[in-house]
Structures are given as structure tokens and as C-alpha cells.
Structure 1
Amino acid sequence: MRIKRKLSQALAALVIAVPAAVSAAAPAHAVGPALLPVTVTNNTGRGEAVHLYVIGINLNTNRLGYVTKSGAFTPWPAGSIPPSPAPDASIAGPGNGGATTLQFPRGFSGRVYFSLGERLKFFLTPDGLVQPAPWAAGDPNRNILFDWSEFTYNDAGLWLNSSQVDMFAVPHAVTVTGANGVTAKTGEPVNNGRNAVINGIKAQPGWGNTVYTRPDGTVLRVLAPGKAAQAGLMSANYLDSYIASAWNAYTGKTLTVVPFADQPNTRYFGRTSGNVMNFTNSAGQRVASFNRPSTASVWGCDGDLPAPNDLVVGPISRTLCAALNRGTLGTIDTQPSTNAAQFYQNSPTNQYAKIIHQHMADGKAYAFAFDDVGAFESLVHNGDPRAAGLILTPFGAGGPNPPPPPGAVPVVSDWHGKCIDVPSGTFVDSAPLQGWTCNGSGAQKWTFTNGTLQAGGKCMDVAAGSTANGAAVQLYTCNGTGAQQFVLSAAGDLVNPQANKCVDIKDWNSGDGARLQLWECAGTANQKWHKG
């Protein structure tokens, strides 16, 4: 089960769309409490006041409204044209280092908004609540730092997710604790993750304008590519060349879509004719057809990729959209692909989704509408919840270190079987590399990339680019210099070609913490390595 992510928009005013209720029979074994405590923790490191809002739909009455701190539901009054100001539904949130507990009433679906420094401005039309839309010109919330999570809480449990479908602004994690006392958490950025996402996206050609900075210098948000393109901040045709290549790949071969992980025999087969991809079922009957989608349709998972709530067209469309966003359509012919190491390898690619996923502690995020295909979304669910949480995470340093990327391996000494290790798993410039008992941690996982060895997003490096015997081998920001080139030979020598010298365990120290250095290659055991 998933909360519906795509937000339909009514009127030019962008009226809020409430996530579709999760339809499920109440479990016979347990039902969550009538009021579920949800604790919002402020670890941002910022001093502004925090304002919270719980808005959405009462699933029992189908009425739109808001929830107070104590969990009482209040329907919105009638709106007007032009939109009229909504009643103030804000709840005072926690200061930095503090926590505030809200109550979610069972039978409610919607969003928790959180703004820093200023209250959000909501308005009402006859059709409902106008949601903040800072990508739209003239939106009154444009210069407010805010974000939201989405949830549904009903008799079947709680679904709670962080969302980057529209923008990335306030980093936050979501948690749920079940009746068994076990807590699940996701959505947490890595150490300095917010800055890494912002700077990473800024650095991509054509993406710089998707980052919005307030006049006082505060970076407020990165817009998702669909929103940025709508606002004229990046090319509206950015993905067109890749889409055409991927679509045309199936004029001469068959795409197999297996949309349900628990139903491997339910398969659909796609072939392209002209600009149309037609799908047949196992009996050869045509069941769906899709025009070659525009870039906008891929960003939004809509338009040419309609996804009705059925059991055939919608699941195929979801799979196509995920594959196009992740860049696997055209090269991986059975979808969905669930090997994250194969995602975002195409050019051009969805840099927004790629960079956000790279900087999440568990690699999970909701960076586009159907990022839940293959379970890569930042969602927690429990059928028998007892508590939940939203953690506003640090804007700067703080949080866990990056997880090792797919394909990362330990580099092990042939001599004593210990691993090349980053001390304390602290991926900082000039951290001296050492030998340490192999423990499977990210501090000992290395990727061999373009002649470099990388861990935690940084490179194995010879200090100061020295070529002398005894030069320290360390970790440092990747910079493309010869000091960061290493080759593991078939003989087990880990060689720096610039110096033509080997990575050596200093002083034949067999203990944990032994430093590594560069030394003349001698073929000795303290210079022999292999991939674990």
C-alpha cells in the first residue's frame, strides 16, 4: 500500500490535493490508538521559531480541514474567489534541541507542514485549501523556509513519508514505533547532507537556477525539475534526447514489465511502433498503449504517462515513469529494475533524484512521484502503531556518514587480513588511512572509480602529492590529481603511478591503527592487497 503521491491541481491557484485514502480492511488483530502521538524534534541547529500545521481530509466524513495539537479536527469554512485567508491553523513547534508532540486522529490523511521563522499563508477557494506553491510567481510563501511530510492514519495503520516530489528544503526524517516497541526510521540525510545536495545540484550544467536563495542569503529550497521547468528555470526539453533513445530501443526488442513483486507471473510486453509503445499480456491481447512521453510527462509521471488506479494501465505507467526517471529504460529490458547501482547512468539524467538519493543515510527518498516503484521511497509503515515522529535534521554538519555505494568492497591485506580503514569512520580531509580488523563498516568500503579508490565520497590520496618514501596515505576531497590515482595489480600491489610506489603498512605494524604510507615496491607481504 502506498499513499498516492501525485498532487492533482485544481484552479490556477493550485488548490491542495489530499493524498488518496489507503483502502484496506481493518486488521483483525489490532487497531492503532484513536489519537496517535507524533513527536516533532528540532535538530536543525537554527534559531527561528517553528510553526506546525496538520491539514488534510477526515476519512470518516470526507471533509477537508485541519487538526489541532490535541488531535481535534476542524473543517475549513467556505472559501471564495478571489481566495480568502484561511483561519490560522498553526501549532507552536519546538525550538532548536526541543520537541513538540502532536496527535494524529485515526481516520485522517494529509500533510504535516513545518515552517521556520514565519507562519505559512493559506487561502480558501470554494474548492478547498490553496497550498503553498513557492515555484509559482507571486506565491506569498515564496520567501518562507518550509517543507512537509505526508501521511495516512486509518484502521490499517500509519503510512508516513518525507517528500521531495516538489522540492527539497527542510531536511527531515520520519519514524514509526509499533506495539512491539520497534522503531523504523527513514529519510535522514547524511552528515552535511543538505549542503551537499544543494551544492551538488548547483554544480550540474543547466540546474543552477533550480536553487532558490532568499534576498538575505538563506538558501530556501531546490525545486524538483518539473516545477523548475514550469517556472522557466531549466530547459523544458531536458530529457527529450534520452526519452527518444529509450523509447526507440523497443522497436527491435521487447520490454517486459513485471509490475507486482508478489506476482512474478503477471507480465506485460511492450514494443514501439512509431511514437507509440503498445503492451500485450501473456495471451497476446493488447492491454495498454502510451505515446512517447515529453520531458514534462516524465518529471510529473502524468500527461503521456497516465496512471489510473487500476490493475493494468496504472502499474505499467508507474513502472515506465520510474524507469525513465532512473535512466534504466532502453538498457534494462525487464522492469522495474531494482539494482540501484544501475540508476542515473544515462545522459542527460535526473540529477535531482540522483543527488538526493546519494545523500540519504539509507539511500531512500521520494524524489519523483513514483519513486516507490521497487521500494526506494522514504516511507515508514506500521499496521499497529503506537507512536511516530518527524525529526528536523541538521542544516549543516551532523547526521550519519554516507552509506557505501553499491559495489563498494573492502581492501584487505594479504599479510594479516586487516582492512584499509578510515579512522572512526570520519570522512574528513587529511584523515590518515590505517589498517584495522575488518568489520564490514562503511569506513572500510572502497569503490574503484576511474583510477581512484573512494570512500565516503572522498579519495585515497598521497599527502601533498609527495612521491617520497614514507609519504602518508590519507583521505582527501577528490581533485583529479596524480596523487589520487591507484592501481591494484594482478600481483596484489596497490601502486600510485605518479610515484611508481606502493601502499605499504608502515613499520610492519600488525596491530589495529597501523598507518599506511608510500614506499618503493618491494614485493613484500606488507605491500600486498586484495579486494574482499
Structure 2
Amino acid sequence: MLRTLRRRATAAGLSLATILAGSLLATGTGAPAHAAVPATIPLKITNNSARGEQLYIYNLGTELSTGRQGWADAAGTFHPWPAGGNPPTPAPDASIPGPAAGQSATIRMPKFSGRVYFSYGQKLVFKLTTGGLVQPAVQNPSDPNRNILFNWSEYTLNDSGLWINSTQVDMFSAPYAVGVQRADGSTASTGRLKPGGYNGFFNALRGQPGGWANLIQTRSDGTVLRALSPLYGLETGALPATVMDDYINRVWQKYSTSTLTVTPFADRPGTKYYGRVSGGVMNFTDGAGAVVTSFQKPDASSVFGCHRRLDAPNDQVRGPISRTLCAGFNRSTLLVNSSQPDASAADFYKDNVTNHYARKIHAQMADGKAYAFAFDDVGHHESLVHDGSPRQAYLTLDPLS
């Protein structure tokens, strides 16, 4: 079982506010290693963007054998970050020249839990604080990466294999697909948009009333750079804080007189928890009637960020229940199905009050799969590929069209 863990740590007062602290992808137990996974595997990067700017690649993360943060060069050699400072100090230049448009290049991926960034036309600015690497935070208008077109993929390579995904948890930007070549020579891929899907997403977001168009960031020359996630939309004031209140209130009202049944583990259908709202709090009981965890009524930030009042610790009770609740709120399935998680994507995003950012991303994906919010993997609707004996990974940069 793969559990995706999105950790956000805010560095107060920093112009780059998101610190990489620990794994971006945390793999659970039970994934068989079909053959010994080598120390590094090739990552083939293909530039199908049709853009003429210089491409820069970065492979940043945590070395799993030591827990040290650092970067890998094109050969897959690990380099630990030097000590940072307060205020943050510039990080070493970890950029790797990427292939020109229409070309491919191959680098090596070490046993990391981390990110492969790519940027067009300009190198990204990374800094180091005493807590580790400070990453781009383009929701901040003064962030030095604000006007750079860039994106990233997340991956974990360990003794049980490779997990690699595309992600829109923080933003939707320069499109790409990821893939893996299996031991038998076959390949699996995900993350590709439908033809016209890039512009289709932005056009759909512009047409969504209620402030959703305000998530779009452009350069002064009019170039569309990205759409911020709704969580960052709340933080920047692009979306009103009350954007999810109507739906949240209806859910709380419904389950004050009925029961929400959560079956959080697909491989353990007998493990069920039962939620009822009493005194404004949703209490979950187990089969014996004992209260196992409780949730205050969430707000939009809790829903979009899957945090705060929907915090999901990496345990076996509250975390799995919270993940399921978070997915149900974002997909607006909690009123139409009192047994969660909802198995059918056909039921997702049907309420007028929903995560329209996630809805529009999924609608433009060729396979329907995406990481449009932190727990989009509930029910396996995420854009992730895995293999226990990977021969090669792929990162394909697609046109902005």
C-alpha cells in the first residue's frame, strides 16, 4: 500500500515559505522487490514542449540511506546541502542543463525521496535555512521564482522500487507526463493532458464564477505561468474564505441525524468507523461503539489543504479517516453517499460547491488521474506509476497548448 504524505512547513518571515522536511512520498510496507533495485536508475527526459528557451533540471530530495537532504548531479551522485542560515543563504547551483526542444537526455536517479524540478528560460532560486532547503513559494508575490515558468515531479526510489507521479497539489503549470519501464520491457505512464487540455483547463477556470479565475498567475507580458491551488488561493485572498461553507454546513447537518460509514482500507473491508455529529463535533466510533477520534467542523483551508481540522497523522485510525473525509469534501460526495470513500469517479464534483480546481484538472487528464489535492490517491485516482524492478523512468515535457 502506498501512502502519499504531503508535508507543509511554513517558514515565518521568509520570502520562500515552503521547506522540504522529510519525504514527499512515503511508501508503506508490503511492496515486493522483484529484483534488487540498483543504486541509481536512468531517468529519460524528453522535451516535447516546443519551447526555445534553455531548460534546467534539478533533482532534489532526501537520501534514504542517511536521511540527509541534498541534490543529485546528472550521474546520480549525491551532494548534501551545506549548512543554511537565518536569513536564508543561497544554495549551491544544482541545475543540470536539460535537452533542447525535440531532444532527449538521460540522467541518473539515486535512492531519494524528492522532486525533479524543471524550469524554462531561467534557473530557479533555492535557498537554505537552518531547517533545510527553502523551495519556491510562488503564492508570495515577492518570491524570486514568481515569474519563472517551472514545475516538478515527485518520486521515491528505494529497495522496493520506484514510485513517480505528476502533481498539481500546489499549482497547475507547465505540463508533463511521467512513466516507468518495467522489468519485462513494458511501460506505464500517467500525467498526460488531453489534446488542448492545457489551454482547456485555464479557459475553464476563467469561466468558473466565485473567484476561481483569480488563481491564475501571469507574467507582465501576458504569459500564463500557472494556477495556484485553492489552498494558496485562500492564503492570497484570491478565493473567499467562505467558498466551501455552504457544503460543509450541509454535511454537518446531514450527519447530525444520520451516520457516515468510513471504510478506509480497501484491503480491510471489515475495518469500519461510524461518524455522527453531536454538539458540533463529528465523533467516529468503532464497531464496539468506542469513540476513536473526533473532528471539529472544518473550514475551506482544512478541506483544500487536508490539514488543520482535517489533520491526517501517519497512524492507523485518525489519519485514514481524515484522508477519507478530505477526499469526500474535495470531491463533494459526502451528501450523496454515506459510505465513504466513494468508489465511482462518475459521482465526483457534482455539487455546485466543490473543489472546482480539482474538477477541471481531472477533466483535462487523458486517463482522468491527477494529484489535484493532497489525498487524491484515496480510491486510486492519483497520477502515479510504480514498479518493483524499474529499468528506467521517464519525464516527458509537453506543449503548453
Q: Please indicate the TM-score interval, normalised by the length of the shorter structure.
A: over 0.9
Match of 1:185 in 2: 189
1:267 Cα shift? 0.5
Do the aligned partners of 1:364 and 1:377 also contact (CA within 8 Å) in 2? yes
Q: Which runs of 5+ in 2 are unaligned?
A: none
Match of 2:163 among 159, 165, 172: 159
Do the aligned partners of 1:188 and 1:360 also contact (CA within 8 Å) in 2? yes
**What secondary structure sits across from 1:353 in the alignment?**
helix
Match of 1:7 in 2: 7
Structure 2 distance, partners of 1:248, 1:99, is: 55
Match of 1:512 in 2: none
Match of 2:90 among 85, 89, 100: 85
Do the aligned partners of 2:178 and 2:393 also contact (CA within 8 Å) in 1? yes
21 and 250 in structure 1: CA distance in 2 versus 1, 3 angstrom threshold = closer
Could you state the TM-score of these two structures normalised by the residue count of structure 2? 0.96
Q: Say whether residues 1:53 and 2:58 are aligned partners.
A: yes
Match of 2:78 in 1: 73
Please give the residue correspondences for 1:320-331 in structure 2 after superposition, counting only pairs within 5 Å.
320-331=325-336
Structure 2 distance, partners of 1:235, 1:354, is: 18
Residue by residue over 1:184-224, the C-alpha shift from the partner in whole angstroms, topping out at 9 and shown as x without a partner, is: 01110000111001111111111111101100111000011
Do the aligned partners of 1:256 and 1:270 also contact (CA within 8 Å) in 2? yes
Structure 2 distance, partners of 1:186, 1:20, is: 17
1:21 Cα shift? 4.0
Residue type matched to 1:162 in 2?
A: S
Structure 1 distance, partners of 2:282, 2:369, is: 30
Structure 1 distance, partners of 2:137, 2:40, is: 30
Structure 2 distance, partners of 1:368, 1:20, is: 14
Do the aligned partners of 2:25 and 2:155 also contact (CA within 8 Å) in 1? no
**What secondary structure sits across from 1:141 in the alignment?**
coil
3 and 48 in structure 1: CA distance in 2 versus 1, 3 angstrom threshold = farther
Residue by residue over 1:102-146, the C-alpha shift from the partner in whole angstroms, topping out at 9 and shown as x without a partner, is: 1011x3110000000100000011110110010113111000000
Do the aligned partners of 1:250 and 1:330 also contact (CA within 8 Å) in 2? no
Match of 1:251 in 2: 256
Match of 1:32 among 11, 34, 37: 37
**What secondary structure sits across from 1:251 in the alignment?**
coil
Match of 1:426 in 2: none
Structure 2 distance, partners of 1:292, 1:338, is: 24
Match of 1:336 in 2: 341
Residue type matched to 2:352 in 1?
A: S
Match of 2:48 in 1: 43
Residue by residue over 1:205-252, the C-alpha shift from the partner in whole angstroms, topping out at 9 and shown as x without a partner, is: 111111011001110000110011101111122001111101221111
Number of matched residues?
A: 395
Match of 1:380 in 2: 385
Match of 1:496 in 2: none
Match of 1:361 in 2: 366
Do the aligned partners of 1:3 and 1:152 also contact (CA within 8 Å) in 2? no
RMSD: 1.3
Structure 2 distance, partners of 1:302, 1:91, is: 34
Structure 1 distance, partners of 2:302, 2:34, is: 42
Q: Which runs of 5+ in 1 are unaligned?
A: 397-532
Identity %: 53
Structure 2 distance, partners of 1:17, 1:197, is: 31
Tell which structure's C-alpha radius of gyration is larger. Answer: 1
Match of 1:291 in 2: 296
1:10 Cα shift? 4.0
Residue by residue over 1:56-99, the C-alpha shift from the partner in whole angstroms, topping out at 9 and shown as x without a partner, is: 10011110000000000000001111111100000001111111
Residue by residue over 1:140-193, the C-alpha shift from the partner in whole angstroms, topping out at 9 and shown as x without a partner, is: 100000000100000000000000000000111110111111100111000011
Structure 1 distance, partners of 2:245, 2:107, is: 45
Q: Say whether residues 1:232 and 2:237 are aligned partners.
A: yes
Structure 2 distance, partners of 1:162, 1:5, is: 14
Residue type matched to 1:322 in 2?
A: A
Structure 1 distance, partners of 2:272, 2:143, is: 45
**What secondary structure sits across from 1:385 in the alignment?**
coil
1:20 Cα shift? 5.1
Please give the residue correspondences for 1:53-202 in structure 2 after superposition, counting only pairs within 5 Å.
53-105=58-110, 107-202=111-206
Match of 2:265 among 260, 263, 266: 260
Do the aligned partners of 1:79 and 1:127 also contact (CA within 8 Å) in 2? yes
Structure 1 distance, partners of 2:280, 2:336, is: 18
Structure 2 distance, partners of 1:55, 1:236, is: 34
Please give the residue correspondences for 1:380-459 in structure 2 after superposition, counting only pairs within 5 Å.
380-396=385-401
Could you state the TM-score of these two structures normalised by the residue count of structure 1? 0.73
Residue by residue over 1:462-488, the C-alpha shift from the partner in whole angstroms, topping out at 9 and shown as x without a partner, is: xxxxxxxxxxxxxxxxxxxxxxxxxxx
5 and 50 in structure 1: CA distance in 2 versus 1, 3 angstrom threshold = farther
Structure 2 distance, partners of 1:76, 1:25, is: 32
Match of 1:221 in 2: 226
